[in-house]
A and B are shown apart, each in its own frame.
Chain A
Amino acid sequence: MTDTVVETHGLRKHFGPNLAVADLSIGVRRGEVFGFLGPNGAGKTTSVKMLLGLIPPSSGSGTLLGAPLGDYRARARVGFLPEHFRFHDALTARELLRIHGRLYGMRGPSLERRIDAWLERVNLHEAANRPLKQFSKGMTQRAGLAQALMAEPDVVFLDEPTSGLDPLGRLLVRRLIEEVRARGATVFLNSHLLGEVEATCDRVAFVKRGRTVHEMSLRDAAYSLDVELRIDRTDSETLEGLGRFGTDVRLDDGVVCLRARSEGLVPEIARWLVAQGIGIHGIGSRTRSLEDYFVEIMGEDERPG
């Protein structure tokens, strides 16, 4: 069994003259929660739809659970909650799960037991026999989560899964994602809520104008600490010497800035400076958030969508 559940090479999609995805080349491993980040219009949803076979790519190739993209059989092990979660609203929540369960090939008493379990899990048991058109946005989204997860898929695509949920609903989603990861399945998460991505994802990819521009791990985040040094010697020899403690060493308006691996390095930097006979006027450090990375990678030229 391969460890890569999603793999794409130069996946590209254009709608007429409009290029939606320029070059999607990613690999998502089994058992990880993978965040897919980018500003509005970056091509995230189109990318997910290509992975699920909802949109045929214009060029490039890829596999989902080892099968070529678009192979309907592979989708027996895939769950999906779309960004604009719309379902047949004449159905009740129970009927919705029954239909989707049958599409997954489930039937009989075992299907009914699973429906009951999932209605309970997403707190919809009391509303199980009400039509979806009477549901609030949050309730509909929870019903959508249940249909995405009820078959215990090997990979789940969640496109903005908390957009309609209150804080308790968001907590539920976080727990569900943890449960999926705990049983060794993969979550592919599209979200604008960077705090949530930071809290749940193992790894993220940044998409800019339809192109994956950066991938990074959030679990062993290297160089995640910004250090600022106010020292009385800022010549090139000093900057070069500080390079041993981190990367991206630069002089910014009289302040030496560098990116270090961890806070444990800060005392070592201070000791080294003292040993070099360099006077220290101040040392500051700040852990970089995902938002810092996002802004840096997307650049100033990206405008809010």
Chain B
Amino acid sequence: MNGILAIAHLTWIEARRRRIVLAAVLCGLGFLVLFGLIVYFNADRAVGTLPNLQRRMVLQTLTIVGLYAVNFLVVALAVMLPVDTLSGEIDSGVIQTLASKPVRRSDIVLGKWMVFWLMIAGYIVLMAGGLVAIMWAFTGFRQQNLVPALALMQLEATVLICLTMAGGVRFTTITNGIVAFAFYAIAFVGGLVEQVGLVAGNAPARYIGTAISLFSPADALWRKATHILMPPFITQVQITPFSGGAVPSAAMVWWGVLFSGVMLAIAVRGFRRRAL
């Protein structure tokens, strides 16, 4: 445990000194300010005269749109944070002095992973919490089921962190970044195919979309999160892009957990065998 904590401390200092944390927080705050301005100047004008049900529907959709943007920032951060942590240090030789110390190779991977996971968790809380607080402050809208939805966003980010760390053992930094983003893009397209298949009543398209989600579960977890965030009266009528009937099942959540575990195990095993 001592090794994991020392590596975690090192990773945190590095992230802080390289202003990665500062850049992410400033960009996030910039987004929140922008979102706040939009809500402050427009939301009341747009929904002020609407009946209560429609007003809730519009505000809910606006919240989901904002969270969608937050989710995109989280996805980017989940890939960018760990993308060069192993490959970059292996290439530069920095890893040699660490790995020649009395520390397990697995401790190096797990120490880094732990910090990235906590940083993402903090970022999600800051951004999603900030966004929901803005909506409440300016419109009085209260988001339901926020905690389980944020947990799913965290799981989505965990999938990407683990995948990127596993890639970092074998690939160069650029290759790893391309693979990780492609993995997410495939998941996104898979989700789209599944939704289109549902709306068009095209069973093969739905099956293809589901198969892609199994291969790359990141986007499915986000769709599951949006479903949880929506009140039943919206999800049942299926009238927004976020309320599709093709809602990933609870099994997809367990698959996301298992997928993350397998990827982390691959990262540990690959790094243990890697010539440094």
Contact = CB atoms under 8 A, between A and B. Distances in A.
Given A88-B14, A91-B14, A80 B96 contact: yes
Interface in B19-42: none
B185 interface: no
Contacts of A131: 17
A204 B147 CA distance: 65
Contacts of A73: 102
Interface in A163-185: none
Nearest to A80: B100
Nearest to B275: A55
Given A54-B276, A103-B102, 5 more contacts: A53-B100, A72-B103, A72-B105, A87-B94, A91-B14
Given A54-B275, A102-B2, A75 B97 contact: no
A53 B238 CA distance: 58
A49 interface: yes
Interface string B105-116: 100000000000
B126 interface: no
A147 B94 CA distance: 13
Contacts of A91: 10, 13-14, 17
Given A80-B97, A144-B97, A56 B273 contact: yes
Nearest to A77: B102
A102 to B, nearest CB: 4
Given A54-B276, A102-B6, A90 B93 contact: no
A54 B96 contact: yes
Contacts of B100: 52-54, 75, 78, 80, 82, 157
Closest 6 CB pairs of A and B: A90-B17, A76-B102, A103-B101, A102-B6, A80-B100, A54-B276
Interface string B82-97: 0000000000111011
Contact of A99 (B9, B102, B104, B273): B9
Nearest to A131: B17
A81 B6 CA distance: 19
Contacts of A102: 2, 5-6, 9
Contacts of A90: 13-14, 17-18
B101 A86 contact: no
A75 B102 contact: yes
A104 interface: yes
Contacts of B43: none
Interface string A133-152: 00000000000100110000
Interface of B: 2-3, 5-7, 9-10, 13-14, 17-18, 92-94, 96-105, 273, 275-276
Nearest to A81: B97
Nearest to A50: B275
Contacts of A56: 273, 275
B93 A86 contact: yes
Interface in A96-122: 99-100, 102-105
B101 A104 contact: yes
Contacts of B6: 99, 102-103
A196 interface: no
Given A49-B276, A56-B273, A99-B9, A87 B97 contact: yes
B93 A82 contact: yes
A130 to B, nearest CB: 12
A103 B3 contact: yes
Contact of A75 (B14, B93, B101, B276): B101
A72 B13 contact: no
B212 to A, nearest CB: 35
A57 B90 CA distance: 18
A72 B102 contact: yes
A88 B10 contact: yes
Nearest to B102: A76
